Amino acid sequence: MSIIGIFLTSAMVKHALCALAALLLLAVSTSASAQATSRRCEDASINEEQPGPACLLAHESLGRLNVDAVYWSLDKYPSVEAARRDSVKGGSIVKAFGSVWLLTVGHSASRPVNGEHVAEVGPISLDKDTSYDAEFLKSTFAPGMTAPIHVHSGPEAFYAVSGDSCLETPDGVQIGRGAGNTMIVRGGPPMLLMALGPEPRKGFALILHDPALAPTTLVHHWTPKGLCKAAMR
């Protein structure tokens, strides 16, 4: 083989290796973005009193619900055992913000026998012909803190245990003030969640999504107009 041939072969191998490295980097990046909410809340490094990104409390496979809308019920219990007595399909028992909670997705709001009904969020619109998984998240945001800009493949609902909430999308802005404020956003558009007001925002979120699709993907193609920042007080 000529020197020129050896040089060309070496250059081609180098080019192929660079291309492979780029593809691997893209795959890792895509996976990380798609799994933006996969960090489990049980991680020893997570302290819910310290502000930080959302973590995953629980995941439930709901299947096909055959309805156009569902409700998300949040109930508080004195113990895990008491919550288990009220638990039904579509519900997850979690420990968060100093309490035991039963978080349930169903055709109607729950009416707990052994606990306290705290809130219901809905109706949350669905495609009745689609199977769904549910992801229950929690987060603590300091005032002015934002989540990275992202999209969800299905609807998301929010419930704030404390603090004020702001959600900006290309469709506009939603603002919730005080403990118990709720918001719902359809799947698809990019969004920015911000904590407003003088105190930390502690809250839950529910993402409903087709199990064949990533629930959350970080994006960079949209720039918010600053509507939440303008609502800071």
Average pLDDT on 91-114 reads: 93
The predicted-structure confidence for 205-215, as pLDDT tens digits, reads as follows: 999 999 999 99
Per the structure block, which two tokens stand in for 15? 């080019």
pLDDT at position 36:
52
Q: Which residues contact 95 (CB under 8 A, 6 or more apart)?
A: 80, 101
Please, are residues 228 and 168 in contact by the beta-carbon 8 Å criterion? yes
The predicted-structure confidence for 122-163, as pLDDT tens digits, reads as follows: 999 999 999 999 999 999 999 999 999 999 999 999 999 999
Token look-up 């035991």 returns 100
pLDDT at position 46:
67
pLDDT band at 197 (very low <50, low <70, confident <90, very high): confident
Distances (CA, A) of 6 to 1, 13, 15, 216: 7, 11, 14, 47
Distances (CA, A) of 65 to 55, 123, 128, 208, 231: 26, 14, 6, 11, 37
> Which of 190, 196, 188, 124 lies closest to 160, judged by CA?
196
Following CA atoms 117, 199, 93, 61 in sequence, which dihedral angle do they give, to the nearest 10 degrees?
Answer: 100
The predicted-structure confidence for 32-70, as pLDDT tens digits, reads as follows: 333 456 688 987 566 777 888 899 999 999 999 999 999
Interatomic CA distance for residues 213 and 141, integer angstroms: 27
Q: How many CA atoms lie within 13 A of 109 on its CB side?
A: 11
Please, are residues 152 and 213 in contact by the beta-carbon 8 Å criterion? no
| Cis previous bond, 215, omega within 30 | no
Interatomic CA distance for residues 130 and 43, integer angstroms: 32
H/E segment holding residue 80:
helix 80-86
Interatomic CA distance for residues 176 and 189, integer angstroms: 19
Per the structure block, which two tokens stand in for 172? 């506009």
Q: Which domains does the chain have, with CATH numbers?
A: 33-41+54-230 (2.60.120.10)
pLDDT at position 131:
96
pLDDT at position 34:
37
Of 33-37, 172-176, 198-202, the range with the lowest mean pLDDT is 33-37
Interatomic CA distance for residues 152 and 207, integer angstroms: 8
Average pLDDT on 168-184 reads: 97
Per the structure block, which two tokens stand in for 119? 């809130």
